Amino acid sequence: MKTRTQHRQKTGARWWQQFRQDLRVLARLFPWKVSAVLIVGIVLTAVLFEETYNHNLIPGGIPITYVKSVYAVLNMIAFQVTFADMPESPVLDLYFVIVPLIGIPLLLAFGVNILNILRIFFVRGERGQAWQEALAATVERPIVVCGLGRVGYRVANQLLDLGQPVVGIDMTTSPLVTALIERDMPFIAGDIHNKDVLQRAGVARAQAVLACTNQDLVNIEAVFHVRELNPQARIVLRLFEDSIADEIQKAFDVKAIISRSAVAAAAFAHAAIGMEVLETFDLKGRTYFLARLTLDATSRLVGTRLGTTSDVYDVTIACLEHNGQIYVEPGDETTLQAGDTLFIFAEMERAGELARRHRAESTTGPILVCGLQHTGYRVVNALLALQQRVIALNFAPEALAEHLHAHGVPVVYGDFRQHAVLEQAGVQTAAALIACSENDMVNFETLLRARELVPGLRVVMRIFEESLGEQLQRAFAIDAVYSTSAIAAPLFVAEALNMHIVQPVTVSGAQFGTPQSIAHLTVGANSRLDGAAIADLTHEENLTILLHIRGDEIHIPPDPTYILEPDDGIVALASQEKLLDLETG
């Protein structure tokens, strides 16, 4: 009963908020200028008509009042005025010609505008771009998301989930854009490197602007105009080309430059060698992972002590699934067994070393990467950085594929959904296959064909729709499924908002008790964290300290004997309630 009442209250509050917003938009769309001209015209014409009428009044006639003059002017517009004792005057006759000639067009313009406003006010499906622009004009200090493709859509959705004022821009509508409009996000249709489009979206008063189309030049040109319109706005830029990132960041005071493919590539690469990256984020110029590593009978970590693994590889074992039980901050003396699952937090390079150590000698064959667009190209480079053998596959020779080939990476061209192409690439001896083309269906079909040839092959798939990916993963025993836009979107949100909470953790609540988040917290003077021992914090429920920062030194795993001081930083894995307690306590 309580839940039903709360639902009704929430629905009522949302309806009232939406109604108030509609009224603000209605006020903006109202034809104030036409109305003002019409009213001023009637008022002044009535004054002149009263004076002219009474000046030409016949002897014994009754003078006209101002109220009647107004009434007369209104009736003239409708061709209905009659006065039995009207003075005969050519000047008065002019009123009957001029007033309708000017008044009728003004009245029609006013009426048409009013009817159109009422129509779109009551019929939401009729609301077009004029309504969207008026809606955008009511948003104070918006976050403007430029480009509502896969990345922009996810970024806008997450910002709306956080209750942020968002305005979106894209060239055309799409199902993704429609879904955002249905969440009452104002949408401006237009080119983001058009200054007028940016102005209509409210860039001049924006707190942040996120340029996240899939075209570098378009994003860079948009940054030019954003800085002209708003020197103070935080700018977050999506960019593929690393070579120009520093120059762009300095020239336009860009807060952050993010490459979706670069962020996602590490997750794909590590998944191929046996480590499923759950979350990733940057800290002091370094990339850190929260990852899951399941040990099979061939893993070279089986039989080692957990504490030894943690010390040798500089990782924090946040959680261990051991003998069917979940242990948060497990003991160092625990001996790892086949079937154990480790949830580790580590710098990217250290996580890679641990993943390589985990792999058995028999799984050191090449890794096949199918699809060499931005993501696939980055995945190949990430695997090379992990000292893995790679064979790349692409439908046809393209710039990025040719670049890899020129640098010594074997590239096989052809439809990699076909058995013959996969066999040519050596799928029978491959350690893993990563399907990361831009087409979800191509990726799915590729891994099915590969599994037909090698049933036990480790496969990693790229897909946009996360919920569908989870279903396919369970149904077809896919080792890892990632959405590149889902991986990148939280980074854009965090940079746009200067958020402390960096990433929501996607590990299920059943494993950790309650949903968890990775958070980067700074110790404030006289705060709850000031003077706290890391050892004491680690014993609190729903809280795991993963990393400690003091000055330029990063300690992972953190030394439990350290006492936190003001300006120290910690990275914690904790429930939302615990984080709120730490930040406000």
> Where in the chain are the domains?
2-30, 32-122, 129-258, 263-486, 501-584
Structure tokens at 62: 């009754």
Among the ranges given (104-108, 122-126, 199-203, 257-261), the one the predictor scored with the smallest mean pLDDT = 122-126
Give me the CATH code for the 32-122 domain, please.
1.10.287
Q: Is the pLDDT of residue 10 over 50?
A: yes
CATH topology of domain 263-486: Rossmann fold (3.40.50)
User: Is beta strand 432-435 parallel, antiparallel or unpaired with respect to 458-462?
Assistant: parallel
Residue 101 has pLDDT above 80, yes or no: no
* Per-residue model confidence (pLDDT) at position 54: 82
Topology adopted by domain 129-258: Rossmann fold (3.40.50)
pLDDT digits (tens, 9 = 90+) for 158-188: 898 888 899 999 998 889 998 998 888 999 9
Q: What is the full DSSP assignment across 298-345?
A: T-TTTTSBHHHHHHHHT-EEEEEEETTEEEES--TTPBP-TT-EEEEE
Q: Across all residues in the chain, what is the average pLDDT?
A: 81
| Residue 512 main-chain phi, psi, to 5 deg | -105, 0
Sign of the Cα torsion 30, 32, 37, 40 reads positive
Q: Are 167 and 202 in contact (CB under 8 A)?
A: yes
Identical topology for domains 129-258 and 263-486: yes
509 pLDDT more than 50:
no
- 558 pLDDT exceeds 80? yes
pLDDT at 354: 81
pLDDT of the residue at 443: 95
What integer pLDDT is reported at residue 511 of this predicted model?
45
> What pLDDT does 263 receive?
74
At residue 122, the pLDDT reads 58
Tell me: pLDDT of 1 over 50. Answer: no
* pLDDT bucket at 124, cuts 50 / 70 / 90: low
> Do residues 386 and 273 touch, judged by C-beta distance below 8 A?
yes
Mean pLDDT of the 287-292 span: 78
CA dihedral 376, 378, 384, 390 (to 10 degrees): 10
Query: What secondary structure does DSSP assign to 149-178, as a single string?
Result: SHHHHHHHHHHHHTT--EEEEESS--HHHH
Query: For residue 428, what pLDDT is reported?
Result: 94
Residue 513 has pLDDT above 60, yes or no: no
pLDDT at 418 over 90: yes
Contact 210, 145 (CB under 8 A): yes
Phi, psi of 382 (to 5 degrees): -65, -40
Instruction: Indicate whether 2 pLDDT > 50.
Output: no
Share of the chain above pLDDT 70, in %: 83
Per-residue confidence (pLDDT) for residue 441, from 0 to 100: 94
The pLDDT assigned to 63 comes to 83
CB atoms within 10 A of CB 120: 20
**pLDDT for residue 87:** 67
- CB of 461 within 8 A of CB of 447? yes
| Structure tokens given for 231 | 């020197």
What are 389-409's pLDDT values in tens digits?
999 999 999 999 999 999 999
pLDDT at 144 over 50: yes
Task: Name the band, by pLDDT with cuts 50, 70 and 90, for residue 417.
Answer: very high
pTM here is 0.66
Query: Which of 104-118, 374-388, 525-539 is predicted least confidently?
Result: 104-118
Q: Is 161 exposed, middle or buried (0-12, 13-18, 19+ CB in 10 A)?
A: exposed
Half-sphere exposure of 81 (CA within 13 A, CB side): 21
CATH superfamily membership of 501-584: Regulator of K+ conductance, C-terminal domain (3.30.70.1450)
User: What is residue 4's predicted lDDT score, i.e. its pLDDT?
Assistant: 56
pLDDT in tens, 324-369: 777 766 778 888 888 888 888 888 777 777 877 776 554 568 999 9
Q: Which long-range contacts (CB under 8 A, 24 or more apart) does 547-553 make?
A: 547/283, 547/288, 547/316, 547/345, 547/571, 549/283, 549/284, 552/284
pLDDT reading at 146 higher than 80: yes
